[in-house]
């Protein structure tokens, strides 16, 4: 018997991100005042503090900025997952986000590796954006 994985619990600021992901769309906040893209979502643009922004579709492409391979089971639900990669992916649009690299043996993951978004439907209507080699 494996335990269910914890699923994201959207905050008000990140709810649009998770709603888009549910439909396999990758959208991040984009400032209408200064053009800045950012992640994680927040109530105002971290560059100019404007609250005039919209969740905007982005390329879903980026590169591995940094990563770590987990070999130890820190949560029983991940027992079948080890080893797995947790990475900081730098999007083409600039922001970096914490995610998993999937669809490739962990020993083949490298910094600067080009990656693209994929969606992992984890149940309960939740889909988690992850990244795979482009
Ligand atoms: Zn701005």
Domain count, the chain: 1
At 100-112, the pLDDT tens digits run: 999 999 999 999 9
DSSP string, 34-64: T--B-SS--SS-TTT----EEEEE---EEEE
**Higher-confidence residue: 1 or 87?**
87
pLDDT band at 124 (very low <50, low <70, confident <90, very high): confident
> From ligand 1's centre to the CA of 59, what distance in Å?
20
Dmax of the chain from CA atoms?
A: 51
Domain that holds residue 120: 15-133
CA separation for the pair 69, 107 (Å, rounded): 9
d(CA 66, CA 87) in angstroms, rounded, equals 6
Q: Is residue 1 part of a domain?
A: no
**Cα-flanking dihedrals φ and ψ of residue 130, to 5°?**
-130, 175
> Which CATH number do you get for residue 126?
2.40.50.840
> Taking the C-alpha atoms of 90, 96, 97 and 101 in order, what is their torsion angle to the nearest 10 degrees?
20
Give distance in angstroms: CA of 37 to centre of ligand 1: 8
Expressed in angstroms and rounded, the spacing between residue 55 Cα and the centre of ligand 1 is 13
pLDDT average, residue stretch 75-95: 95
On whether residue 72 sits in a domain, the answer given is: yes
Q: The tokens of 11 are what? A: 């905050």
- What is the per-residue pLDDT for 67? 98
Structure confidence at residue 1 as a pLDDT band (50, 70, 90):
low
pLDDT in tens, 20-78: 999 999 999 999 999 999 999 999 999 999 999 999 999 999 999 999 999 999 999 99
Residue 53 Cα, ligand 1 centroid: separation in angstroms? 8
The reply to whether 2 falls in a domain is: no
What is the pTM (predicted TM-score) of this model?
0.93
Rounded distance from Cα 35 to ligand 1 centre (Å): 6
Measure 6 CA to ligand 1 centroid, in angstroms.
33
pLDDT attached to residue 20: 98
Residue 5, in any domain of the structure: no
Give the pLDDT confidence score for residue 23 in this predicted structure. 96
What does the alpha-carbon distance between residue 64 and residue 133 come to, in Å, rounded to a whole number? Answer: 9
CA angle, corner 29, sides to 8 and 27, nearest 5?
A: 65
CA of 93 to the centre of ligand 1 (A): 14
């Amino acid at each position: 018997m494996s335990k269910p994985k914890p699923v994201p619990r959207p905050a008000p600021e990140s709810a649009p991100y998770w709603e888009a992901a549910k439909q396999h769309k990758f959208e991040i906040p984009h400032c209408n005042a200064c053009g800045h893209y950012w992640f994680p979502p927040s109530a105002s643009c971290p560059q100019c503090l404007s609250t005039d922004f919209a969740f905007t579709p982005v390329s879903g492409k980026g590169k591995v900025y940094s990563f770590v391979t987990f070999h130890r089971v820190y949560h029983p639900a991940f027992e079948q997952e080890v080893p797995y990669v947790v990475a900081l992916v730098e999007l083409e649009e600039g922001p970096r986000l914490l995610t998993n690299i999937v669809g490739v043996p962990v020993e083949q993951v490298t910094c600067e590796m080009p990656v693209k978004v994929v969606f992992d439907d984890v149940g309960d209507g939740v889909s988690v954006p992850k990244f795979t080699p482009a």
